[in-house]
């Protein structure tokens, strides 16, 4: 007897008959269509929206969409519109549920005040989402009737009422102890600041005219970018819940629950934003959207973009920045003050690049850090103030240079210009051979005329100072600078110095360690 052959995994699947498929969907879509009829017929006002109703609508649409996709409904002319409406209901039910979550959670978030009415804008966003769901549910009922699907009409709104008595359960569990309050707070606040540095796209709305919203896709706004940020804020929320929730620190530092509220609201707003961008890219964007839905859109592209930009991204950015300010305050409260001494950048001292990186580290933490060089103190958060220290650094280099040149035997007597140039070049190359000078340009361009009546040492010193000022050479010294302030900031400044301030000795950019990744933003 010949054994049965294994099925060919590359063979085309069998085609299901339309009558059989209609019968299957009629049974599986029954609950969704029942809810859709209720939603489109008996929900005239947004105040009737409840989490039990929206949650059930979301659950049923997820299950039905999965079944439709398993049978390839998206690519079938008869069923593609029904599948698209199911996906629309799923997405906006999800958005609606997030909005309801924000609405009911606002009191517990303890958000810092902003100059806009977040609660009122959330209510307006709920109204718009209600209208979209009403249109989508009405549309799927019409489509179901065309497909010959039964539409149950026996659901009643009362069964989805959400009666919420006031108050909260007693908090009577024992609190956990942690080793160090300062360590826990600084870890959380630092993690928030690092994440905030990666979230600059949330501040884009203030810089963009509404007519140009569509130009923000796919850069900087895309589903991928927002989904990444959403994941990171969810991870930060989990970090808080693991290390801070139910600990004694949470009761001792009032800023911690407030910071968690800001992490949570940004996370939920990013959840909404991700869904809206997905819908825009998949269904409404002229370059990537579903042509079928674009012809009969449930929501106009600009209306969706306004909801995305003016609500989800705008408020995520506003509360992100409030959380950043709170993190600065918390870090200052727990700051341990110290000092570190590090080498001056080997390439041209504290020029623009290292000065900018130093200032970015300091501003990232919002701390007061002073840079000290001899008897002078500089504000390390200001690149121009740091750059000002180069005057003193170059003066030190010139004084050191005079001492070094004094060790070389110099020719005596009256010298012509060519002989003076030869003497200068001889000193420069000897210093370079000893590793005391860096040559950035060859051949060196020297002056054409010298003071023949002057002292040769002065001519050489002045010419090397000219080469230094014009960037043709640099002097290698063991000069150091000192930073004073918060030890956490000093740790990053020390790491920056060990990494050459992002440059090698010839000014070429080099990679910074991953701990300083926020500097690349």
User: Which contiguous run of DSSP H or E holds residue 376?
Assistant: strand 376-379
pLDDT over 60 at 399, yes or no:
yes
Query: Which of the listed residues 97, 125, 160 is the one where a domain comes to its end?
Result: 160
Residues 198 and 329 in one domain: yes
Q: What pLDDT is attached to residue 338?
A: 94
CATH number at residue 119: 1.20.120
Count Cβ neighbours within 10 Å for each residue of 251-275 and write b for 16 or more, e otherwise.
eebebbbbbbbbbbbbbbbbbbbbb
Q: What pLDDT is attached to residue 476?
A: 78
Query: Which of the listed residues 304, 334, 364 is the one where a domain comes to its end?
Result: 334
Q: Is residue 5 part of a domain?
A: no
**Percent of the chain topping pLDDT 70:** 95
CATH number at residue 429: 3.30.1340.10
Q: What pLDDT is attached to residue 364?
A: 92
Q: What pLDDT is attached to residue 35?
A: 94
pLDDT digits (tens, 9 = 90+) for 166-181: 888 898 888 888 777 7
The residue-averaged pLDDT of 358-375 equals 92
Residues 386 and 492 in one domain: yes
pLDDT digits (tens, 9 = 90+) for 274-318: 999 999 988 887 766 566 655 677 888 999 999 999 999 999 999
- What is the rounded CA–CA span in Å between residue 430 and residue 175? 70
Q: Are strands 480-486 and 337-343 parallel, antiparallel or unpaired?
A: antiparallel
Q: Is residue 11 part of a domain?
A: no
pLDDT digits (tens, 9 = 90+) for 234-287: 999 999 998 888 888 888 888 999 999 999 999 999 999 999 999 998 888 776
In terms of pLDDT, which residue wins out, 325 or 183?
A: 325
Residues 371 and 508 in one domain: yes
Residues 306 and 359 in one domain: no
Q: Is residue 169 part of a domain?
A: no
pLDDT over 70 at 141, yes or no:
yes
pLDDT over 80 at 12, yes or no:
no
Q: What pLDDT is attached to residue 290?
A: 63
Residues 300 and 376 in one domain: no
- Which domain range does residue 69 map to? 17-160
Residues 220 and 130 in one domain: no
User: Which contiguous run of DSSP H or E holds residue 132?
Assistant: helix 118-147
Please give the span between the terminal C-alpha atoms of the chain, in angstroms, as a whole number.
69
Residues 192 and 148 in one domain: no
Q: Is residue 343 part of a domain?
A: yes
Two tokens at 158? Answer: 């009362």
Q: Among 88-102, 103-117, 243-257, 443-457, which is the least confidently predicted range?
A: 443-457
What mean pLDDT, rounded, does the chain reach? 88
CA atoms within 13 A on the CB side of 500: 14
**SS3 state at 392:** helix
The residue-averaged pLDDT of 226-231 equals 96
Q: Is residue 477 part of a domain?
A: yes
User: Which contiguous run of DSSP H or E holds residue 189?
Assistant: helix 181-197
Query: Which of the listed residues 306, 334, 362 is the one where a domain comes to its end?
Result: 334
Please state the domain count of the chain: 3
Residues 273 and 293 in one domain: yes
Q: Is residue 9 part of a domain?
A: no
Residue 505 confidence class, pLDDT cut points 50, 70, 90? confident
Residues 402 and 495 in one domain: yes
pLDDT digits (tens, 9 = 90+) for 414-441: 778 788 888 888 888 888 888 888 888 8
- What is the rounded CA–CA span in Å between residue 272 and residue 275? 5
SS3 sequence, 300-365? Answer: CHHHHHHHHHHHHHHHHHHHHHHHHHHHHHHHHHCCCEEEEEEECCCCCCCCHHHHHHHHHHHHHH
């Amino acid at each position: 007897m010949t054994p049965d052959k294994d099925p060919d995994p590359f063979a085309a699947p069998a085609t299901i008959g339309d009558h059989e498929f209609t019968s299957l969907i009629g049974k599986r879509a029954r609950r969704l269509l029942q809810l859709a009829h209720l939603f489109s017929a008996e929900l005239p006002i947004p105040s009737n929206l409840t989490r039990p109703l929206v949650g059930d609508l979301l659950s049923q649409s997820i299950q039905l969409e999965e079944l439709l996709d398993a049978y390839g409904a998206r690519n079938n002319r008869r069923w593609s519109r029904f599948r698209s409406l199911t996906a629309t209901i799923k997405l906006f039910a999800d958005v609606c549920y997030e909005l309801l979550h924000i609405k009911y959670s606002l009191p517990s978030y303890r958000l810092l005040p902003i100059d806009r009415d977040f609660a009122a804008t959330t209510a307006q966003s709920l109204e718009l989402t209600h209208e979209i769901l009403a249109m989508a549910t009405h549309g799927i009922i019409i489509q179901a009737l065309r497909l010959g699907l039964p539409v149950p009409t026996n659901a009643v709104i009362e069964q989805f009422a959400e009666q919420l008595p006031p108050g909260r359960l007693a908090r009577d569990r024992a609190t956990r102890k942690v080793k160090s309050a300062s360590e826990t707070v600084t870890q959380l606040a630092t993690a928030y600041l690092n994440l905030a540095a990666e979230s600059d796209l949330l501040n884009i709305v203030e810089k963009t005219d509404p007519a140009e919203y569509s130009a923000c896709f796919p850069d900087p706004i895309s589903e991928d970018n927002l989904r990444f940020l959403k994941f990171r804020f969810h991870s930060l929320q989990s970090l808080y819940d693991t290390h801070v929730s139910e600990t004694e620190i949470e009761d001792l530092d009032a800023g911690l629950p407030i910071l968690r509220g800001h992490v949570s609201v940004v996370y939920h707003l990013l959840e909404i934003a991700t869904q809206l961008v997905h819908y825009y890219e998949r269904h409404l964007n002229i370059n990537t959207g579903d042509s079928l839905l674009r012809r009969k859109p449930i929501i106009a592209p600009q209306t969706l973009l306004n909801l995305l930009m003016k609500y989800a991204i705008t408020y995520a950015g506003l509360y992100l920045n409030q959380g950043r300010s709170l993190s600065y305050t918390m870090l200052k409260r727990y700051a341990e003050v110290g000092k570190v001494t590090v080498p001056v950048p080997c390439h041209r001292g504290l020029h623009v690049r290292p000065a900018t990186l130093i200032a970015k580290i300091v501003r990232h933490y919002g701390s007061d850090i002073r840079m000290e060089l001899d008897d002078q103190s500089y504000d390390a958060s200001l690149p121009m103030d740091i750059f000002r220290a180069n005057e003193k650094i170059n003066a030190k280099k010139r004084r050191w240079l005079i001492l070094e040149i004094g060790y070389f035997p110099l020719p005596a007597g009256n010298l012509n210009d060519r002989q003076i140039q030869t003497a200068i070049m001889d000193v420069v190359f000897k210093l370079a051979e000893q590793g005391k000078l860096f040559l950035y340009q060859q051949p060196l361009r020297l002056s054409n005329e010298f003071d023949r009546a002057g002292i040769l040492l002065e001519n050489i010193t002045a010419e090397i100072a000219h080469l230094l000022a014009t960037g043709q050479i640099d002097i290698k010294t063991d000069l150091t600078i000192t930073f004073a302030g918060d030890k956490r900031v000093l740790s990053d400044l020390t790491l920056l110095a060990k990494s050459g301030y992002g440059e090698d000795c010839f000014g070429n950019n080099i990679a910074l360690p991953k701990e300083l990744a926020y500097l690349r933003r």
